[in-house]
């Protein structure tokens, strides 16, 4: 067990040690499943690993796992989750050779009908860096659409209002104003087109909702880059380790805003 003299929030500790993502930890704590020195923890409480006795469902905090950073080319038909109540296929089924060694968490989401670059890791701080809108990390999408593309392109470049419908994180429907970092027309023939949309907010189904607002039907959506890290020619359904340079590029984005 590594002793850290600096107190950390219990959610962060659980994430760093591969017990649960921060969001999952925030559900576990009110259920009384996490205890610090034999007392049920509360949200936001801090502890010191190696000094305080931290247990999860009565079991001690596990040793710090080796850190993994995985790039997956997610196919359509897979849910970006650890498990699914409806019995649908989940992305962790595609990385079982790593998940047999440690629990990996998807970083952000791609909806079931979308393909492309998805990062999985057991490094909680790294995951927060990539996922949190605060850090402004861009996500690049290749989108095949049908509709009046000339009119839609101009609309896509302006601020757009989208709602939070179908997002379990919100108890009621809310409206957000989003704006693409850039929009480029890659191909255009008749009523179909391929466009590249770069965003930084990462709201639920944001690109699909932006296109719908502008009168476009999305036929195919693929995430091709996160920040400077590109999917490249990684085959569909396959994964690879991120290189040290790629991990560094994403981590450096975190340090720039500190």
CB atoms within 10 A of CB 129: 21
Task: Say which of 111, 148, 163, 184 is annotated catalytic.
Answer: 111
Nearest-CA neighbor of 76 among 222, 193, 211?
A: 222
DSSP one-letter string for 45-74: -EE-BTTB-EEETTEEPPPPPPP-EEEEEE
Structural contact between residues 160 and 177, judged by C-beta atoms closer than 8 angstroms: yes
Per DSSP, the three-state class of 148 is: coil
Active site residue 217: no
Tell me the pairing of strands 115-121 and 217-226: parallel
CB atoms within 10 A of CB 258: 5
Q: What Å distances lie between residue 144 and 72, 86, 186, 193, 223, CA to CA? A: 21, 28, 10, 6, 12
The residues annotated with a catalytic role in the active site are: 111
């Amino acid at each position: 067990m590594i002793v850290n003299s600096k107190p950390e929030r219990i959610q962060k500790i659980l994430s760093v040690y591969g017990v649960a993502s921060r969001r999952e930890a925030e559900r576990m704590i009110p259920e009384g499943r996490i205890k610090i020195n034999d007392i049920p923890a509360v949200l936001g409480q801090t502890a010191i690993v190696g000094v305080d006795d931290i247990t999860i469902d009565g079991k001690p905090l596990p040793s710090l796992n080796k850190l993994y950073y995985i790039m997956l080319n997610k196919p359509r038909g897979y849910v970006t989750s650890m498990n699914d109540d409806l019995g649908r296929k989940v992305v962790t089924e595609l990385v079982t050779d790593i998940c047999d060694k440690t629990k990996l968490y998807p970083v952000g989401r791609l909806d079931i009908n979308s393909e492309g670059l998805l990062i999985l890791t057991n490094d909680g701080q790294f995951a927060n860096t990539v996922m949190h809108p605060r850090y402004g990390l861009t996500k690049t999408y290749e989108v095949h659409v049908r509709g009046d593309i000339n009119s839609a392109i101009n609309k896509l470049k302006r601020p757009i209002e989208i709602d939070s419908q179908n997002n379990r994180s919100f108890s009621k429907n809310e409206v957000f104003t989003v704006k693409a970092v850039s929009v480029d027309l890659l191909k255009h023939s008749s009523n179909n087109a391929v466009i590249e949309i770069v965003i930084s907010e990462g709201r639920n189904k944001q690109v699909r909702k932006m296109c719908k607002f502008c009168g476009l039907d999305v036929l195919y959506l693929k995430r091709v880059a996160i920040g400077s890290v590109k999917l490249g020619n990684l085959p569909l359904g396959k994964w690879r380790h991120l290189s040290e340079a790629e991990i560094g590029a994403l981590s450096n984005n975190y340090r720039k805003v500190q």
